[in-house]
Structure 1
């Protein structure tokens, strides 16, 4: 934390004194910890994922549905001991797993918390991230993470620069995802159909960008195998009021044609995974960031 190079931004800042691009200092900040029933079926298969939403982000996407915590940085500082207690409390509540949401900038703190309770934690740990990761940070997580749940948001560097100020997004993310797959290996399930090991790649279709989505599907089909990866094609894009007029193309929902074009293309490529109904595009599915469970 005194010279932070945890993510591809490589700010190098002393987070004990300042904040980097992610907006986070050295202390872990959490906005909510609770059971969440709306993750993919093999992640929330019984009681729900034990989600822990961390504040701050290394992408700051202009359309982020978790804007309150990613960009506005709402949350509460917690100690390593408290974070470990949160993990155990979620397990006691019957969580199907510990689902770490946007955790990149707090990886050392998370590892320290897991070290305190690894002998007591019997459910999988999910690393739920935006995909913009350094392979060195993924290497740090070897032995701590059971399931990787990365986004691949963009293929085009122009689009990733415009929406997330990250022209190198696909180059960085594609390498990180392959590192995750190498580390975790093949998909593995328990007797209840719950995923206990593996990688799920998420992609949310954006309005006006179905062709970019199709290129991502092409890469997945050509670079990964079906016994190692599931793909979740998301239809939940919601045009929130905070989206600037600068991004007029994002101020509407994805059409049925746009979404189905991407899904059909993935099916033709033989990609396995999940799709969403159009009703998933709704503000009601955005968690209430109210410090529940903190």
Structure 2
């Protein structure tokens, strides 16, 4: 059994990554099964954020690309192509910041108003659907990153729902770099990203934190209002993994670089979850870090009464020719998205976990058995 200190002393430079990973798996196979958060292939001695490694020329090119994308926006899969200097396109942009307490000192969370999806069950719908917030320039947003770093002492800058404002986000990261930002950047996304958007973020983002929500076109169309969500998510997540690889930690247990995929277990959607887990194992990496989330609850439009239709209610004729309208139980209880109008069960959550394990996934965002910090 490895001790935590033994893990930290692993001679990383003496073995290439692939042989080291193969050897580690062989050793683990002989050990009693347990949950590992730190393993030699995923342990970093130290870490410098990727944006700090950009040359001045590379940073200048990033800025130029960001401004160019704003003039003809193609940075989400809807590809509206509008001039963002003159109009908002499909969605507005504004920033809303809220430090949230996570891990040791917390993750510096920055919420962006609006979203390029319209999830019927969105648990942040007051921000994403109603677009509450206020407008900031990229430079003003960068100043908030610095405040979170210097005053809040957070572990990272966590950008939440940034897909539709990727150019502004890229410019804010580059501005914060010049202001002295030294924290890793977390890109917290629905995975409904275009490859152009992810190319712009390459070298700026350290940790990609995408959701993979549903698999089928029917579920995507009905619940997310996007016909091609799963196809986009598959392509996006593969690109994210290409950029940053599997999730890696420093010796204190804090994630610094890599991919962490989240899946929100939803009522009656176990089959979709099984497809998602199979894709991650077969087409991304069996070492991908997965967060199987059980906190689904009906929100946003789920469970709201259906809009009344202008139709004549059914009538019956009583003896003597007296007619009256009939109101059935189903009509009084008819609500929107009734199939997901309940919490998930323990059996559904455990079923998704077992499906993930069956396809070979093994790195899960379980509560750590050490003092480390999990995103």
TM range (shorter): 0.7 to 0.9
Deviation string for 1:25-75 (max 9, x for gaps)?
A: xxx4122331332xxxxxxx3211110000000011011000001101101
Give the 3 Å change call, closer, same or farther, for CA 18–162 of structure 1 in structure 2: same
Give the C-alpha shift of residue 115 in structure 1.
1.3
1:264 to 354, 363, 370: 354
Show the counterpart of 1:81. Answer: 139
- Asked if the contact 1:35/1:47 (under 8 Å) is kept, the reply is no
Contact 2:160–2:188, Cα closer than 8 Å, also in 1:
yes
CA deviation profile, 1:231-286 (whole Å, cap 9, x unmatched): 1111111112642423011211011111111111112223121258xxxxxxxxxx
Query: Which protein is richer in strand relative to its size?
Result: 1
Please name the residue that 2:230 is paired with: 170
**Residue in 1 aligned with 2:95?**
30
1:250 aligns with 2:340: yes
User: Are 2:139 and 2:176, in contact at CA under 8 Å, matched by a contact in 1?
Assistant: no
- Which position in structure 1 is the counterpart of 2:320? none
User: Relative to structure 1, is the Cα distance of residues 129 and 81 closer, same or farther in structure 2, using a 3 angstrom cutoff?
Assistant: same
User: What does residue range 274-293 of structure 1 map to in structure 2 within 5 Å?
Assistant: 274=365
Work out which of the two has the higher radius of gyration on C-alpha atoms and give 1 or 2.
2
Matched, 1:102 2:161: yes
Tell me which residue corresponds to 1:290.
none
Please identify which structure carries the higher helix content: 2
Higher RCO (Cα < 8 Å, 6 or more apart): 1
CA deviation after TM superposition for structure 1 residue 91, in Å: 0.8
Q: 1:96 to 1:58 in 2, by over 3 A?
A: same
Q: CA RMSD in A?
A: 1.6
Normalising to structure 1: TM-score of the pair? 0.85
Q: How many residues are aligned here?
A: 264
1:5 aligns to 2:74 (yes or no): yes
Q: Which structure 1 segments of 5+ residues have no match?
A: 38-44, 277-294
Query: Which ranges of structure 2 fall in alignment gaps of 5 or more residues?
Result: 1-69, 305-334, 368-375
Displacement of 1:197 after TM fit?
0.5
User: Among residues 83, 90, 94, which one is paired with 2:148 in the alignment?
Assistant: 90
